Structure 1
């Protein structure tokens, strides 16, 4: 019997050519920003910039995963979202550990570098977020992409505020506080994605026997 509900049989948000183009753009932007921001973060001694650069790397990998499963069934997209949610949680934990280490051993970062690079990253993320906005209420896989982009834009604003704080106080603490906030965003966003993905997997298991009976 021919499948009339397969993802490959019709154009949906998950295999929409526009969606795939947006993901390719987001992947390219995040990969480029990872390289640039990591170099600037190391040179400027900013833990917040380095944390944001790692976030760009994680997002680039997540976009690549999303491209790989975009036209697959809901169960596979939900499994990919579980992987991405777990990755984001690990990122948040890694940033927390890095922030604690820096609080004990780090030096004062260069505020000027933080401000300039943070602004460039903000522009990049706002553009990507604008492209992804229409897909913010999709399945867990699509929502995870939106959450990554949204968190990045918020993080960039925080980096710029940290730059002002470092400049005004001559202390590393504004940089460390922002890094901790970004870690919290990662933990929160990863938990959201995992929760929705698990719910979708449960619903798919319930629906699969019903489909078999009517097949």
Structure 2
């Protein structure tokens, strides 16, 4: 019951909330910076999990930019933007899943120490963003998509650190590849959640308002 009340309040008050916009700008900058850090480290460490997480940071930065662009628009436009983001999340998930499958066929063991260090840095960045976005987690599909991205990222970073321990302990690449597959599954499932809510919001809007 309280969730429904919270969702309604957030959806109405946060559209042009300066605090919401400031948080999105901060999230955008953090994610763009972490993309640069992780893509370099991922290539250097030969870690598919880090490379996948780097692309996720890049995708999130783009998603935050979209959210900033539609924050003050009508619900129909925000729902459409959420559907676009759902498609990008799905595409990311499928790409990472394919990369993980290829890695099982032909891949070398990544550098565990680099994975652990960069994974911890990425986790700190994503937890900070998730905490800033927490109050908006029950808003419309556009706000929810932002929260889901941040939540999935934090989970993914914990998994990357676990993969680093697995690689360090076994000297093999499979822990890195398993985590990349898990991150892909999270992205695919998150895209389904966002798409369903956005479609529901579009369906509830009168045809004249689309």
TM-score by structure 1 length?
0.91
The 8 Å contact of residues 76 and 209 in structure 2, kept in 1 or not, is answered as no
Structure 1: where are the runs of 5+ without partners?
Answer: 1-10, 210-215
Equivalent residue runs for 1:89-128 within 5 Å: 89-128=90-129
C-alpha deviation, 1:205, in angstroms: 2.6
Q: What is the distance in 1 between the residues matched to 2:23 and 2:35?
A: 18
The aligned counterpart of 2:205 is 204
Question: CA offsets, 1:125-146, max 9 Å, x none?
Answer: 0000000000000000000000
The aligned counterpart of 1:45 is 46
The aligned counterpart of 2:183 is 182
Question: CA offsets, 1:103-143, max 9 Å, x none?
Answer: 11111000000000000000000000000000000000000
C-alpha deviation, 1:67, in angstroms: 0.2
TM-score by structure 2 length?
0.93
Q: What is the distance in 2 between the residues matched to 1:30 and 1:196?
A: 25
Q: Which has more radius of gyration?
A: 1
SS of 2:65's partner is: helix
| More deviation, 93-102/129-138 | 93-102
Question: CA offsets, 1:123-176, max 9 Å, x none?
Answer: 000000000000000000000000000000000000000000000011100000
| Runs of 4+, deviation exceeding 2 Å | 205-209
Structure 2: where are the runs of 5+ without partners?
Answer: 1-11
The aligned counterpart of 1:194 is 195
Q: What is the distance in 2 between the residues matched to 1:207 and 1:178?
A: 46
Q: What is the distance in 1 between the residues matched to 2:206 and 2:114?
A: 50
The 8 Å contact of residues 59 and 88 in structure 2, kept in 1 or not, is answered as yes
Q: What is the distance in 1 between the residues matched to 2:126 and 2:57?
A: 10
The aligned counterpart of 1:154 is 155
The aligned counterpart of 2:67 is 66
SS of 2:108's partner is: coil
The aligned counterpart of 2:131 is 130
> How many residues matched?
199
C-alpha deviation, 1:206, in angstroms: 6.0
C-alpha deviation, 1:32, in angstroms: 0.3
C-alpha deviation, 1:12, in angstroms: 2.2
Q: Please state if 1:165 is matched with 2:166.
A: yes
C-alpha deviation, 1:207, in angstroms: 8.2
